Structure 1
Amino acid sequence: MKMFQSLSLLPRIVSPFRKCYSTDLISLVGVPRVKITKGQNRYLLVNIHTHGFTKYGRVIVRGADVENHLTIFDSILEELEPQGICAKILGGGRILNETDSKKMKIYGTSRTFGSADHTRTRNILQSWTTYKDFKITVKN
């Protein structure tokens, strides 16, 4: 009888692992963490996750030389929605990307989405191999 009671708990134990290693979640790994252009950028800090798995997300940085942050958000949705990936904006700001002198400055805020955590953005940029050697300054 105790064995049957123990076996009844098995689905509760296995379920979190099955969710964690779902093939849907593997598609998040294929999304690049950083996409920004040279020069002056508006950027968004975005938490992405597959539909229904909000616990297992990933934070990405997207930036471009555009008129407003909504344009970046629209391009993010165009990129991610066909893959079944949802996006939640954590905030925005500006990045001055000087690739020639290997310097970056992260500052400002988005009128639409509010201010991003610039320190977190810097950490993500420094973890990306392209910007590993850059001197990145943050101004809040």
Structure 2
Amino acid sequence: MQSFFAEWPRAEQAGDVARLDRLLTDDFVGTGPLGFTLPRPAWLARFGQGLRYDDFSVEDLQPHEHGDTAVVLGRHRQTGSFGGAPIPQVLQATHVLTRDGAGWRLAAMHMSFVAGTPGAPPLPAGAGGREPVDGV
């Protein structure tokens, strides 16, 4: 699994659609922080539609393996733009991976804003002014 999380962020940052094509399952679906879902073809097409990363990493990985399936929590730290507009700099994500003969592949992902971080909505009223997790 470590090799997947070394390769996948590099492919995302580079916009390497050929490498991402190998790293996603055929029925992959990604859910963005605003609730939209992208099936595999739309996920791969994002770079041709204006997505550009200056930096992309996944940190604070918390894997939960169950046979040939793993649910991995992690934090995306990224800078870049989509169609010229800046993207959120920090997202919390749940990654669902499956292992096959080629190694680990990403089957699904759900991303969420981290309130109070650049590009995310502000902390909601009544949140008690709590600081974001890990200072971000």
Place the TM-score, normalised by the shorter chain, in its bin. under 0.3
Going by fraction, where is strand more abundant, 1 or 2? 2
Going by fraction, where is helix more abundant, 1 or 2? 1
TM-score w.r.t. the length of structure 2 is 0.25
TM-score w.r.t. the length of structure 1 is 0.24
Asked which structure has the greater CA Rg, the reply is 1
